[in-house]
Structure 1
Amino acid sequence: MNTKIKIVSGTALFIFILDLATKVWATNALEGKSSRSILGNFLRLDFARNSGAAFSSFTGLTVVLTFLAIGALVAIIWYIPRISHPLWALGFGSLTGGICGNLADRLFRAPGVMQGEVIDWIRLPNWPLFNVADSFIVASVALMIFLSWREVPIRTVVVEDE
């Protein structure tokens, strides 16, 4: 298996499992309980079910968001073999893991298939609730913007001499 494919799939799997495990923990430890303060008021642990997207936008459009996530995954999977730089592979792996984490919630959590609510449980000051998957989606986009800014090529094109 290609090294870049290993980076993407390994990163995605790690993030997916981490997100799933933290959501199981949050559901058991935080649901129905009052907010927990960690590091003073800087970090709080709350529990919420989100039927929308980031910042609770697009509430009630879970089916649409589910199809958009599936479409994004198909596009990423199609593009993965073309990646030749390991940092881009890390970025795409992080994005894939984050998308899969939230997609699993939408597909399999209550109230039903393709209508599931995403578990959010991390709160920072002046910031909406989020989860591990959200964190990696944002981090992957930041990494990809940085790589683009630094003009790091996603793929290397080899030009053969004639």
Structure 2
Amino acid sequence: MSEQSTRVSSAARRRAALAAGAAALAGADLALKTWAQDTLAGAPVGPDFAQLRLAYNPGVAFSMGDTLPSWVVIGFTALITAGIGVAAWRTAPKSKAATAALAVILAGAVANLIDRAGDGVVTDYLHTGWWPTFNLADVFIVCGGLAVVALSWRRTDQEHAKAPDIT
């Protein structure tokens, strides 16, 4: 097998893992949202500082844009989600860690987009008492984003060797 076909095969495996991982995580969030809608309506569970409580968010993070028409919010989030998907697809052949981080972000973005597409709102169910109510997809987006930032700080010796000397 040639080196090029090995690279193509590796890239295909990473892309398949990206798609499968993002789909599985998005599915888990959507299942939890369905459970929350069926179980938590009018009946929060747990103490005030860490409660499962049903809420709906017509906006995006921290309810920003909650007064905009739902088609604007859906369109905007669809464009961002598509951009994340393209970035993840293009990154997959290069870095396992970056691909995994982007897959987690993509999973959260896709899950929230699918949830929002039905009625213009996102189902939230995790409530801390001091932070706005959120969902697992939001956790995916934040943790994936933190991972991308952490990975951007990490450069291997090979990358340093390849980087042009600008001094």
Aligned length: 145
> Partner amino acid for 1:7?
A
Q: Which has the larger radius of gyration?
A: 2
- Residue 149 (structure 1) shift: 1.6
Identity %: 28
Compare the two structures and name the one with the higher helix fraction: 2
Measure the CA separation in 2 of the matches of 1:82 and 1:140. Answer: 14
Deviation string, structure 1 residues 31-76 (Cα, Å, up to 9, x no partner): 1x23211xx4441011111101112221122322211221123223
Deviation string, structure 1 residues 58-109 (Cα, Å, up to 9, x no partner): 112232221122112322333313431111111111111101111012211x
Measure the CA separation in 2 of the matches of 1:76 and 1:45. Answer: 29
Does the alignment pair 1:74 with 2:73? no
Q: What's 1:150 paired with?
A: 154
Scaled by the length of structure 1, the TM-score of the pair is: 0.81
Secondary structure at the aligned position of 1:126 is classed as coil
Superposed CA RMSD: 2.0
Residues 8-157 of structure 1: pairs in structure 2 closer than 5 A = 8-31=18-41, 33-37=42-46, 40-61=47-68, 62-79=70-87, 80-83=89-92, 84-108=94-118, 110=119, 116-151=120-155
- Residue 5 (structure 1) shift: 0.6
Q: Unaligned stretches of 5+ in structure 1? A: 111-115
Scaled by the length of structure 2, the TM-score of the pair is: 0.78
Q: Unaligned stretches of 5+ in structure 2? A: 1-8, 163-167
